Structure 1
Amino acid sequence: MFEWMAWTLPVAVFFTCIVLMLVGMTVWEIKSPTTLRKGWLPMATTRGDRLFIGLLLAAYVNLVFVGLGEKMVGWFGLEQEPSVWISFVVSMALLALVMRKG
Structure 2
Amino acid sequence: MEKQKLPNSTLILVFGIISIVTCCCYGVLGLIFGVIALILANKATKLYMESPENYEGYNNVKTGKILAIIGIILNVLYLGYTIFLFSTIGMEGIQEMQEQLLEQYGQ
How high is the TM-score relative to the length of structure 1?
0.39
Which one scores higher on RCO, CA 8 angstroms, separation ≥ 6?
2
Q: Which protein has the larger Cα radius of gyration, Structure 1 or Structure 2?
A: 2
How high is the TM-score relative to the length of structure 2?
0.38
Higher helix share: 2
